Amino acid sequence: MENPDEIILSLATKVSAANPTEADLQVKCVTLFLDLKKDDLALKAAVALIDHNASYDKTARAVGAMKAQLPETVDAETKAKITGFKATKSESMEAAHELLKVAPNKGVELVAKALSTDSMSKSKVHVAENTHRRLKDKAKNEGMAKKYYEAAAKLYPYSTYFEGAKKGAK
């Protein structure tokens, strides 16, 4: 029987190479390739992210992981691209959520701001729910989690998670 890691690696290698503009796929591939110690493939996926999706919210985390495990044998141009990458500033709810993953204390301020400034926030109840959970669990900031919950309950009146005022409405 074939090794499951080899099957997954084979599929991920083909899919990653065929879809360089698919940001979420490339982020997952960077993580997978680094976990499987396939630095050359992780580099290709990280470069694809920088080239095609530099402003994507998850790009900074994936490129940061690649930076931390950058092999010494990498060519100068690729090394410069990876080490010189600067994440674009975004105040979206997704960016705030991602920042909580890598820097829980830094992300707390952006989280509160993003809920009110993201122009699409009314359609992102699932992101708000996940962000609230992350505030409680990873950032361990109960005060901010409570404030966020209250603000989200007002923004999402039909939410059962946030127990919005209209949660039982049909």
Q: How would residue 1 be classed by pLDDT, with cut points 50, 70 and 90?
A: low
Which band of pLDDT confidence, cut at 50, 70 and 90, is reported for residue 167? low
Q: Name the pTM for this structure.
A: 0.73
In sequence order, the 6+-apart residues with CB closer than 8 A to the CB of 170 are none
For 137, the token pair is: 């669990």
**Stronger pLDDT, 101 or 41, i.e. the higher one:** 41
Please answer whether residues 70 and 83 qualify as being in contact, where contact means their C-beta atoms are separated by less than 8 angstroms.
yes
- Concatenate the DSSP letters of all residues of the chain into one string: ---HHHHHHHHHHHHHHH-TT-HHHHHHHHHHHHHTT-HHHHHHHHHHHHHHHTTSTTHHHHHHHHHHT--TTS-HHHHHHHHT--PPP--SHHHHHHHHHH-HHHHHHHHHHHHHH-TTGGG-HHHHHHHHHHHHHTS--HHHHHHHHHHHHHH-TT-TTTT-TTTT--
- Position with higher pLDDT, 96 vs 81: 81
Span 43-75, pLDDT tens digits = 999 999 999 999 888 998 899 999 999 998 899
CA distances in angstroms from 151 to 14, 78, 107, 144, listed in the order given: 44, 44, 17, 10
